[in-house]
Amino acid sequence: MLVIWTTCVSGQTSQSSVPPTDHLKFSTAGAALGIELNVSIDGVSMEAYWDRTIDSIFAFADVDHDGLLDESEIRFVPSARAIHFCLDQGFVPPVAKLKGRTEVLAGAPGRWNPAMLKRYYTTNGVGEPRIGQGELRETKALTTALLDRLNFDGDSRISRDELLDAPGSLRQLDTNDNELIEATEILPNSVYPSGAATDPLRDEATKTIERNERPALTIDRSLSSSDLSLIEWKLSVAKRLGGPSKTLSVSQRLRCDAWTVPGPLADLLQTLQDELPERVEAPPGNRISNDSTSSRDVNGRWLIEVADRDSDGRVSASEMEQWMALQRRIGRGQVLISILHGGGLFELLDSDHDGGLSVRELRNGSQMLDDAGCIAEGKLQVELIPEVVLVVASQGVPRSLAKRAHVDVAWFATSDRNGDGDVSRREFTGPSRVFQDIDLDRDGLLSLAEAVRFDALIADQRKGPGARND
């Protein structure tokens, strides 16, 4: 799982005994933000983890344990392209196979040693974060639709009062009655987020995105540490997924929100394990048809090509476990950074980035826009809305971009049916008097903090008098 935390380093590059995993720089219209990315997995740097993982791949393929791989053993070595597919599949699928020793050795004679395999993988981007970028293409239309709905007096400017009235004035848009104003309700027939981060940003690359109505945005992965002051962003793959999200920059031109979301890799690998038969055997004659190379072949015969280490025509329970253990290790080292740029008003208001505006987000909207420098003389200045860049870290391609706080209060998690982080009176199934007891700030919403306090109070009451004095 992925844990995130950030430290702002003022005026200088963060000092660390471990070299940074990567750098990112965003710049537009004179505003620039530099991020130093540091990734650790199971307590070691990403580089060290992948050194050990490549050693594990080599050991798995080295059936005769002589420290070298011959032509018969190379079939157990997944290609770099196949390892990259793990982000989507949850395991290394039997595709994009190595073409022989020339692909690994670039024509060098002899058999392959561990150093040669590591050179092949690192040259082809294995062992570093995968970074993709894409644009939030519905931003302009969403902003126009929101402004139109908020502008009740028709004066072409949104006043602070109109922003404060947003929870009520936008309520009629909630056509599915889930107490969220979703992007698709504001802008019917739209798809949000419309831009998937599928355009890869390769190592040492610079990408400039030209826009018709906005200044060009440059995303630079070749940043040197002397270019500008950096904000350190630490990602750690540990036992539990959690950690706070952070706003890495707020200015009148550029804002960058970074957070982590659960990735599907562990679930995908478990699904594969459940689908595979306990014992896999090749068809009579040990010949495997081309059709059996499908990664979802229910007979699992493709597994023989990559896991039958003793070449007896079947995959034993032991061989299956060895192969699955290697898949778990490879999947654990997969870190995806998705960069979605082009955000605006909707992304500023949608603080948990779940694609919908909750009651609390709408209530806080005026203050949020004020903090971002978008309100002057009591009016929203649309031209001052900053470029919003969303940076999402995950293990595997995320199913949702929504920030989700870990909730230990079971009744709260169950009651929060729309997942907005609050429990409304409609969602709460208990008596009104209990709701009022929990709702200390009398805002008509139960927050997680209020739920935690209430549970602690109930636990103290059950212990009896004198349990607590506060």
Per residue of the chain (470 residues), give pLDDT as tens.
444 444 333 334 444 456 788 889 998 887 888 888 889 999 899 999 999 999 999 999 999 999 998 888 888 999 999 999 998 889 999 887 776 555 665 545 567 899 999 999 999 999 999 999 999 989 899 999 999 999 887 787 899 999 999 999 999 999 999 999 999 999 998 889 877 788 998 888 899 998 887 889 999 997 665 557 788 888 888 865 444 567 777 667 889 999 988 888 888 988 988 888 877 887 765 544 444 444 455 567 889 989 999 999 999 999 999 999 999 999 999 999 999 999 999 999 999 999 999 999 999 999 999 988 899 999 999 988 988 999 999 988 888 889 877 788 999 999 999 999 999 999 999 999 999 999 999 999 999 999 999 999 988 888 766 555 44
Q: Tell me the sheet residues that pair with 39.
A: 235
Instruction: Name the DSSP letter for residue 112.
Output: B
Token digits for 183? 């992007």
pLDDT value for 67: 93
Residue 272 has phi, psi (to 5 degrees) of -60, -45
Q: Considering only CA atoms, which of 338, 280, 339 is closest in space to residue 305?
A: 280
pLDDT value for 7: 39
pLDDT value for 32: 86
Q: Considering only CA atoms, which of 121, 437, 393 is closest in space to residue 234?
A: 393
123 C-beta neighbours (distance < 10 Å), count:
10
Please name the residue ranges forming H helices in 295-409.
302-307, 317-332, 345-349, 359-363, 365-371
pLDDT value for 70: 86
> Which H helix or E strand runs over 234?
strand 230-237
Cβ pair 348, 217 in contact under 8 A: no
pLDDT value for 299: 66
Q: How far is residue 317 CA from its own chain's centroid?
A: 34
Q: How far is residue 468 CA from its own chain's centroid?
A: 41
Cβ pair 267, 88 in contact under 8 A: no
- Write out the E strands in 13-114: 22-28, 31-41, 44-45
Using DSSP bridges, classify how beta strands 387-394 and 254-260 pair: parallel, antiparallel or unpaired.
parallel
Q: Where in the chain is the domain with CATH 1.10.238?
A: 410-463
Global pTM reads 0.86
Specify the CATH number for 410-463; select among 1.10.238, 1.10.1790, 3.30.300, 2.60.40. Answer: 1.10.238
Contacts for 180 with CB less than 8 Å, ≥ 6 apart: 174, 354, 356, 357, 358, 418, 420
Q: For residues 19 and 96, give the distance between their C-alpha atoms in angstroms, rounded to a whole number.
A: 32
Q: For residues 2 and 262, give the distance between their C-alpha atoms in angstroms, rounded to a whole number.
A: 7
Residue 317 has phi, psi (to 5 degrees) of -60, -40
Cβ pair 425, 432 in contact under 8 A: yes
Identify the residue whose tokens are 């649309």: 382
Helix count (H) and strand count (E) of the chain?
A: 18, 21
Using DSSP bridges, classify how beta strands 379-380 and 375-376 pair: parallel, antiparallel or unpaired.
antiparallel
Q: Is 193 exposed, middle or buried (0-12, 13-18, 19+ CB in 10 A)?
A: buried
Q: Considering only CA atoms, which of 121, 111, 108, 116 is closest in space to residue 66?
A: 111
